[in-house]
Structure 1
Amino acid sequence: MFDATHSTAPPEGAPEAGDEAPLDAYSRVVSAVADQVGPAVVRVESRRPGRRGGLGSGVVIAGDGLVLTNSHVVAGTRRVRLGMAEGGDTDAEVLGDDPATDLALLRAELPRGAVAAVLEDSKVLKRGHLVVGIGNPLGFESTVTAGIVSALGRSLRSQSGRLIDDVIQTDAALNPGNSGGPLVAASGRVVGINTAMIAGAQGLAFAVSSNTARFVIGEFIAHGRVRRAHLGIAAQTVPLARRIALATQSGAHGVRVGEVMAGGPAELAGLRVGDIIVALDGIMVAGADDLLRLLNADRIGHAVQVSLLRDGRRMTRMVTAQERVQPASASGSPG
């Protein structure tokens, strides 16, 4: 006779045999990302005589030796030391340093078969997406953390006072030393470069988007620096209500002006805090990274037509773009 007290059936509500528990699925994704991208993450050390150097992380983005990191990690130096994930150190040359986006590009002699990460289109991200941070916080190498995308299109003022646009906010735990390391999507592709965390606050960390990184890398390779125009605003990507987008013939997103710099081109042209930029010279602007890309060197000193929404109405303003002055690199600020 069957004795129910010795039944091996799972308790009511438990997953059937072969079903995957949610925690296991989450763990598998994080583990797979760490295995795939972890070997491409390096330790970056910069030293300057008589001054504090930088210590952070970087990620190999090309097997021929290109490494992406933060500007504040290289600390204004021309050469840095890399510690490879698989062991061993090597020197690297700083090919480009752009404090305006807190990005720097390095070139090093890497071992044959070095693993390189792939930069994803950061526009695929949505709030709530799983992301994984990999780096060397506080000197603990190859540390993996995970969280979600908390917000997109943020603007961030760094410790040196510069504004960085199109920043990803995440609650993945970051600490000094994570700077310059990759923020990776569940696909195993890099969607951001970790750049900052808010001291004393939990769950507030930021990464420069991969789309901004791809633009900056192209400028470094072509010109050795990023020469760009600016409008004199701080801005962030915002969604537009469907009815407003249809009524104003705009896209699903725009760029909201969060700050107008005194005496800058935008103030002189009459732009205000709260205006939403939707096009530049007739080209649709769907995010802060689009605005950065369109404000290239060709527009320096030229009047550009800015299409914007104000009080639900579409209007245009002519703004004479100025060259963005390259601020001095942060000197050894912690990652």
Structure 2
Amino acid sequence: MEMLASSLHTPPSPLPTITPSSETPCKTSVSTRRRAIVSASTAAMASLLQFSNPISPLCSAIALQPQQPELDQEEDRLVHLFQETSPSVVFIEDLELAKIPKGSEEEDAKVQGTGSGFIWDKFGHIVTNYHVVDKLATDQTGLQRCKVFLVDARGTSFYKDGKLVGIDPANDLAVLKVDAEGYELKPVVIGTSRDLRVGQSCFAIGNPFGYENTLTTGVVSGLGREIPSPNGRAIRGAIQTDAAINSGNSGGPLIDSYGHVIGVNTATFTRKGTGISSGVNFAIPIDTVVRMVPYLIVYGTPYSNRF
């Protein structure tokens, strides 16, 4: 390489003086041919060295190519996961009607809060957090309403009034029911929370700050946590995650890599005075939900409250 560079950048030496001697021209010709052969060989070797150099741009591009399909597959998997699960997630609006109506009920309604939920079965039962619908549960005026926005299995968007059929403040759970006649609902796929492991991937789907169909990603960052319930009791066994959960995510599903619901997003620690999630978020384990929801649908209260 140095020889080639030198021959490229050094000015050519003066042509040799031709003497009358018959030997001089022969020696000059042979020497010139040798230099040409050496230069050509060096150039070929340099080209081979450059091609085989592992840090050359060409080789770097070749080395990176096998990784590209893996990245595409991961992205496709997440897109498919969201597309399969999001039709089972609903958007909930907590409404208060005007005491003195001035127009239609919809025009007089004031949005007091938003939340999320998910379709439990094809009969129109919706699971959410109690604190999402607590105003409806404690309403004494008859002015509270709950509107549920859904998507059916064919992708048709619609909304219905949600009727409260069961509450469990101790576990921050509630069940709504909507009239889904004429629509084919797509219930979530229920998973399990008993065999979760810290570090496994998880995903939250909901409506943070009213932005519908939002997907956030993270991992299970802790298990067996205790968080306060709306009635002051402790909810045990909560799942901790760093998947972003903010206002409006409450009641939405926390799912695993297979799209199975492993928890109900319910709470987050916020930085004081900011309202911004600190990254320490919690979900009610799905095993608790599976144990409680059938009683809420049938009896309206948890089993323990009936005795």
Residue of structure 2 aligned with 1:192, choices 218, 242, 263: 263
Residue of structure 2 aligned with 1:45, choices 93, 99, 118: 93
Residue of structure 2 equivalent to 1:102: 172
Residue of structure 2 equivalent to 1:31: 79
* TM-score, L = length of structure 1: 0.61
Residue of structure 2 equivalent to 1:226: 302
Distance 1:95 1:169 in 2: 29
RMSD: 2.8
Aligned residue identity for 1:36: E
More strand by share: 1
Per-residue Cα deviation, 1:239-282 (whole angstroms, up to 9, x for no partner): xxxxxxxxxxxxxxxxxxxxxxxxxxxxxxxxxxxxxxxxxxxx
What does residue range 1-335 of structure 1 map to in structure 2 within 5 Å?
Answer: 10-11=59-60, 14=63, 17=66, 20-21=69-70, 23-48=71-96, 53-77=112-136, 80-85=146-151, 86-110=156-180, 112-158=183-229, 161-200=232-271, 202-228=278-304
Distance 1:91 1:159 in 2: 24
Aligned residue identity for 1:224: G
Distance 1:227 1:182 in 2: 23
CA contact (8 A) 2:169 2:231 kept: no
Residue of structure 1 equivalent to 2:35: none
Query: How many residues are aligned here?
Result: 230
Distance 1:72 1:228 in 2: 20
In structure 2, relative to structure 1, the CA distance for the partners of 1:28 and 1:123 (3 Å cut) is: farther
In structure 2, relative to structure 1, the CA distance for the partners of 1:192 and 1:13 (3 Å cut) is: farther
Distance 1:6 1:143 in 2: 47
Deviation at 1:72, TM superposition (A): 0.4
Deviation at 1:185, TM superposition (A): 0.4
Q: Which runs of 5+ in 1 are unaligned?
A: 230-296, 301-335
More helix by share: 2
Distance 2:195 2:213 in 1: 26
Which secondary structure state, in structure 1, belongs to the residue aligned with residue 66 of structure 2? Answer: coil
Aligned residue identity for 2:89: V
Distance 1:90 1:52 in 2: 15
Deviation at 1:54, TM superposition (A): 3.4
CA contact (8 A) 1:58 1:69 kept: yes
Q: Which has the larger radius of gyration?
A: 2
Moved more, 92-101 or 6-15: 6-15
In structure 2, relative to structure 1, the CA distance for the partners of 1:109 and 1:10 (3 Å cut) is: farther
Q: Which runs of 5+ in 2 are unaligned?
A: 1-43, 100-109, 138-144, 272-276
In structure 2, relative to structure 1, the CA distance for the partners of 1:80 and 1:10 (3 Å cut) is: farther
Distance 1:181 1:14 in 2: 42
Distance 2:76 2:193 in 1: 22
CA contact (8 A) 1:54 1:74 kept: no
Which secondary structure state, in structure 1, belongs to the residue aligned with residue 187 of structure 2? Answer: coil
